[in-house]
Amino acid sequence: GWQASMKSGSLSYILPCNRLPVQLMSQVRVYTSSGQKKDLGSEGTNRSTPEETLHKVGTGRQDTINAGQKQSFLKEPIQVKVKAVLKKREYGPKYTQNNFITGVRAINEFCLKSSDLDQLRKIKRRSPHDDTETFTVYLRSDVETKSLEVWGSPEALARERKRRKEAEIKYRENLFRNQRLLREYREFFGNTKPRSSAAAMFFKGPGKVVMVAICINGLNFFFKLLAWVYTGSASMFSEAIHSLADTCNQALLALGISQSARTPDPSHPYGFTNMRYIASLISGVGIFMMGAGLSWYHGIIGLLHPHPIESLLWAYCILAGSLVSEGATLLVAINEIRRSARAKGLSFYQYVVQSRDPSTNVVLLEDAAAVLSVAVAATCMGLTSLTGNPYYDSVGSLGVGTLLGTVSAFLIYTNTEALLGRSIQPEQLQRLTELLESDPVVRAIHDVKATDMGMSKVRFKAEVDFDGRVVTRSYLEKQDIEQLLQEIQQVKTLEELEAFMLKHGENIIDTLGAEVDRLEKDLKQRNPDVRHVDLEIL
């Protein structure tokens, strides 16, 4: 059978053969990072020598032959060099004490006042925001020392943190009550914030269109209601309900426009622009329920229980006035959409289908349906007056209800698509992608997403593979190369090398952050619709 003998200083394999065995022996020398070499074969006096090992497993003849082979192998020892590598460090207080902390975090986490930070060392760092170039940070070790100086001991600081945490939880529990009291205070004393910007929205653009539509449809509802009371016409009743639904829905649109002008807050960081789409969606549901539903109901009742219609002269006069007023509102909405579509480089049809301005779209479709409804109602009432058959009038009511149902279905679909967060047009997405790919600092981009947030606001997201060589060159262009070379030549130990790499590595990371800020700024400048840019570094 096989017999083997292994020791730390020798390696021998003995083959099962009647003749002399073959033995491989080597002496390994290991070089440490300090430059010293160790002979593993000569360590320890207690260990068995190669000759003793062979004596245990072989005969005397084999000992003599193998001893001669050992001397031949030892003439050429195998040397293995081990590279000096940096030990993996545990990032404890030695490293974290140099971490930076902002003033807000220092005040909140360590229960300090702003005056407590005045005497600490201030360090200017690159700001990730466009409106500020640099911002002030503090060393975390300095803040911790100051907090112990203020509170006396870690236990006192922990008690203060616990007390503030309990107060914060209590405040959140009573948040609803606090908000209600704040609203009552504002209603009693008046809101101190200027609201001229919100009021100005109703004197131009979609706000102007909605206010004009509210006034005209309110008057139309009043006169149509009088005509229905006088004549008892089912078509006139449908027209009155239609005008009432339009008035209520456009009042809801005005509320949505007003709410969309609110500034973003911590609970809604992206603002309230979707309030217009929500108001338009509710408006579409209202048209379906109030307009289409009641018109269908009244038409079916007229078919089941027909009754004669009185004089239709006043009804014709009111319908003519309604046609003129609804047509005027329709022209105002058409002109506003044409102007906005021209500014966006879109056709009239594309602007309406994509629901770029939901408030104006609702007014446009409601007034277009109103004009057609007036024509349908007048035609059916005329047929009833000529033939004396009241069924024509009921059919007209069903036709008006069907038209309103079609408009409401379109509004519900387009506004739902907008609220779900649809992608922007492929051409616009391609322009944004080409802008990033053409930059020399970008090697490749992946997982590109561009979402239309509504009201010409786009959120762009991409994973960017940056070219580290270009980023490093950008950093080196701002450095004194001769001074940098002197620093390199002064590096003699591993500790000095680590300090050198940490210093310039941090600066290179700051350079990468500046490149990200530059790309985000270029995307926003060349594409004004892009309001939020999220670039993830691969």
pLDDT in tens, 52-103: 443 444 444 445 445 455 454 445 555 545 454 445 555 555 555 667 788 8
Question: What pLDDT sits at residue 7?
Answer: 40
Edge-to-edge strands, sheet with 134-139? 100-102, 134-139, 123-126
The answer to whether the pTM exceeds 0.85 is no
DSSP string, 335-386: HHHHHHHHHHT--HHHHHHTTSSHHHHHHHHHHHHHHHHHHHHHHHHHHHHH
Domains of the chain: 93-152 (3.90.530.10), 202-420 (1.20.1510.10), 426-537 (3.30.70.1350)
- What's the confidence (pLDDT) of residue 519? 92
User: How many angstroms separate the CA atoms of 17 and 23, rounded?
Assistant: 13
pLDDT grade for 40, boundaries at 50, 70 and 90: very low
263/269 Cα distance (integer angstroms): 9
Residue 36 has pLDDT above 50, yes or no: no
Residues 407 and 372: their CA atoms lie apart, in Å, by 12
The answer on pLDDT for 31 being more than 50 is: no
pLDDT digits (tens, 9 = 90+) for 165-200: 888 888 777 776 777 677 666 666 554 444 445 566
Neighbours of 529 (CB within 10 A): 17
pLDDT at 54: 37
pLDDT tier, 17 (very low <50, low <70, confident <90, very high otherwise): very low
Q: How many CA atoms lie within 13 A of 136 on its CB side?
A: 9
Report pLDDT digits (tens) over 377-434: 888 888 887 887 888 888 888 888 888 888 888 888 888 888 887 888 888 888 889 8
Write down the mean pLDDT value for the chain: 75
Tell me the pLDDT band of 210, cut-offs 50, 70 and 90.
confident
Q: How many whole angstroms separate alpha carbon 437 and alpha carbon 446?
A: 11
- Of the candidates 94, 400, 356, 391, the one whose C-alpha atom is nearest the C-alpha of residue 245 is 400
pLDDT of residue 49: 45
Beta bridge partners of 137: 102, 123
- Model confidence band, residue 460 (pLDDT cutoffs 50, 70, 90): very high
Percent of the chain with pLDDT over 70: 74
Q: Does the pLDDT at position 10 exceed 60?
A: no
The two tokens of residue 385 are 């007056």
Helix (H) or strand (E) holding 101: strand 100-102
Q: Indicate if the alpha-carbon torsion angle 509, 511, 517, 523 is positive or negative.
A: negative
86 by Cβ neighbours in 10 Å (0-12 / 13-18 / 19+) ranks as exposed
pLDDT at 276: 84
Integer CA distances (angstroms), 373 to 94, 392, 498, in order:
79, 14, 81
Which residue's structure tokens are 């109901």?
Answer: 297
Task: Report the pLDDT value the prediction gives residue 481, as an integer from 0 to 100.
Answer: 87
- Find which of 97-101, 195-199, 325-329, 510-514 is predicted with most confidence, using mean pLDDT: 510-514
Token pair belonging to 201: 């929205």
Look-up of token digits 């930070």: 117
Res 174: pLDDT: 78
Q: Using one digit for the tens of pLDDT, what is the confidence trace for 120-163?
A: 888 877 665 555 667 788 888 888 888 888 898 889 988 888 88
Contact 175, 208 (CB under 8 A): no
Q: What is the pLDDT of residues 239-276, one digit of tens each?
A: 787 778 778 878 888 888 888 877 777 778 777 888 88
Give the strands of the sheet with 28-31, arranged side by side: 37-39, 28-31, 78-81
Average pLDDT of the segment spanning 446-474:
87
Confidence class of residue 304 from pLDDT cuts 50, 70 and 90? confident
57 or 529: which leads in pLDDT: 529
The pLDDT score that the predictor gives to residue 250 is 81
- pLDDT for position 499: 85
